[in-house]
Amino acid sequence: MTAEPSNSEAGSLRPKLILASASPRRLALLQQAGLDADALLPADIDETPQRFELPRSLAVRLASEKAAAATKIRKLQPDLDGSFLLAADTVVAVGRRILPKCETREEAEDCLQLLSGRQHRVYTAVSLITPRGAERRRLVEARLRFKRLASAEINAYLATGEWRGKAGGYAVQGFAGAFVVKLIGSYTAVVGLPLYETVNLLAGEGYPTLESWTARG
């Protein structure tokens, strides 16, 4: 009779999962779903929107380009052969206007003034590269409305520095959560990684998404 593998032995048989991002929030979301990234391969790509490019198209293109760039890096690391690779990108837009991933206080202030009292949309695209090299994509759209922001609220938020590097100049999981009057759609997509779609993408390609859940039981 063959002995059942221990939890550690079973875990060693799990295919590796690569996250093509250095984002702490995306890593935390993966961990929230019980998924552990075996490697982080952030991809450095040009994220400038193309002329007349729509927000949803930009999100899909950037997620796919991040996945492709990380795949090239993965090929240089034989220990990552046979792995699943996950990339994502989030775009914030008011109508067709794409808001920047803010790097300066002035950019963030402009975004917050534009979002004040208005509805906007957040598009998060996910690209999964399977061990066979196939690409699977999902795009998730969420709609949010901010309260009308007073100058004191904007200045206080800018002082936190939380806006730095964030699409639209805010992080919904932080202080800016207090600005949200209404959110329709996936909260985790707004944070940066839609868990429902991501887990289902992985499970559909044979990744053992529930392994860590059952191990804890």
Q: Residue 89 catalytic?
A: yes
Question: Would you tell me how many other CB atoms lie within 10 Å of the CB of residue 12?
Answer: 9
When computed from its CA atoms, the radius of gyration of the chain, rounded to whole angstroms, is 19
Q: Which of 38, 79, 89, 110 is catalytic?
A: 89
Name the residue type at position 89: D
Name the residue type at position 73: I
Contact (CB, 8 A) for 174 and 25: no
Query: Per the structure block, which two tokens stand in for 14?
Result: 């799990």
**CA 130/CA 41 separation, integer angstroms:** 15
The beta strand positions in the chain, using DSSP E, are: 17-19, 39-40, 84-94, 97-98, 119-129, 135-146, 180-184
Cite the active site residues. 89
